[in-house]
Amino acid sequence: MDQIQAAIEAIESRELGEDFSYHQIAKQFGVVRSTLVRRHKAKIQPRAVAHQKLHPQQEQELVQYIQGLTERRAKYSQYFDLLHQKIEKYKIKLWDIYNMDEKGFLAGVTGRSKRIFSRQMWERKEVTTGLQDGSREWSASGGLQSSWVEDIKEGEHSAFVTSSPSGWTNNEIGVAWLKQVFDRFTRSKSYSSYRLLILDGHGSHVTPEFIDFCDENKILLAIFPPHSTHTLQPLDVVMFKPLSTAYLKDLSNYLHNSQGLLLVKKGDFFPLFWRARGSSFKKNTIQKSFTATGIWPPDPTPILKRFNRNSPEVSSSDESSTSLLIGSDWRKIKALVDQTTADRTSKEVKKLHRSLYHISTQNELLRHEMKGLKEALSTKEKSELKEQARLYKLQVAQEKRVERQRLKEVREKERAKQVAERARQKADRDSTKAIQQAQNNKRKASKASIQNNKRQKCVVAAIDVEELSEIASAPPPLTTRRGRNIKLPSRYK
pLDDT: is 258 or 250 the higher one?
250
**What values do phi and psi take at 115, rounded to 5?**
-125, 145
Average pLDDT over residues 298-322: 63
**What values do phi and psi take at 53, rounded to 5?**
-80, -30
* Dihedral-angle region of residue 487 (phi above 0 means left; psi in -120 to 50 means alpha; beta otherwise): beta
Contacts of 421 (CB under 8 A, 6+ apart): none
pLDDT tier at 288, thresholds 50, 70, 90: very high
| pLDDT over 50 (residue 318) | no
Residue 277, classified by CB atoms within 10 Å of its CB into exposed (0-12), middle (13-18) or buried (19+), is: middle
Sign of the CA dihedral running 402, 404, 405, 407: positive
Average pLDDT over residues 312-338: 58
pLDDT in tens, 338-386: 777 766 667 777 787 777 777 877 887 888 888 888 888 888 878 887 8
Cis bond before residue 298 (omega within 30° of 0): no
- Strand order across the beta sheet in which 195-199 lies: 97-99, 195-199, 219-223
Question: What is the pLDDT, as a whole number, of residue 213?
Answer: 94
User: Lowest-pLDDT range, 17-26, 112-121, 222-231, 318-327?
Assistant: 318-327
Question: What is the pLDDT, as a whole number, of residue 415?
Answer: 92
Which residues sit opposite 98 in a β-bridge? 197
pLDDT in tens, 262-277: 777 777 888 888 889 8
- In one letter, which amino acid is 154? E
**CB atoms < 10 A from the CB of 338, how many?**
11
| pLDDT over 80 (residue 69) | no
pLDDT in tens, 86-112: 998 898 988 999 999 988 887 777 766
pLDDT tier at 472, thresholds 50, 70, 90: low
User: Lowest-pLDDT range, 57-66, 171-180, 294-303?
Assistant: 57-66
Average pLDDT over residues 186-213: 89
Question: What is the pLDDT, as a whole number, of residue 416?
Answer: 92
Alpha-carbon gap, residue 378 to 143, rounded angstroms: 67
**What values do phi and psi take at 477, rounded to 5?**
-65, 145
Which range in 103-107, 129-133, 287-291, 327-331 is most confidently predicted, on average pLDDT?
287-291
Contacts of 57 (CB under 8 A, 6+ apart): 324
User: Lowest-pLDDT range, 33-47, 314-328, 465-479?
Assistant: 314-328
Q: Which of 7, 1, 9 is nearest to 317 (CA)?
A: 9
Question: What is the pLDDT, as a whole number, of residue 136?
Answer: 42
Displacement of CA 344 from its chain's centroid (Å): 66
Q: What percentage of the chain exceeds 70 in pLDDT?
A: 77
Alpha-carbon gap, residue 138 to 331, rounded angstroms: 79
Average pLDDT over residues 295-299: 89
pLDDT in tens, 136-173: 444 343 444 445 566 777 777 878 888 888 878 899 99
Measured CA to CA in angstroms, residue 353 lies from 80, 341, 344, 347 at distances of 50, 12, 10, 10
Alpha-carbon gap, residue 353 to 335, rounded angstroms: 10
Contacts of 173 (CB under 8 A, 6+ apart): 162, 164, 204
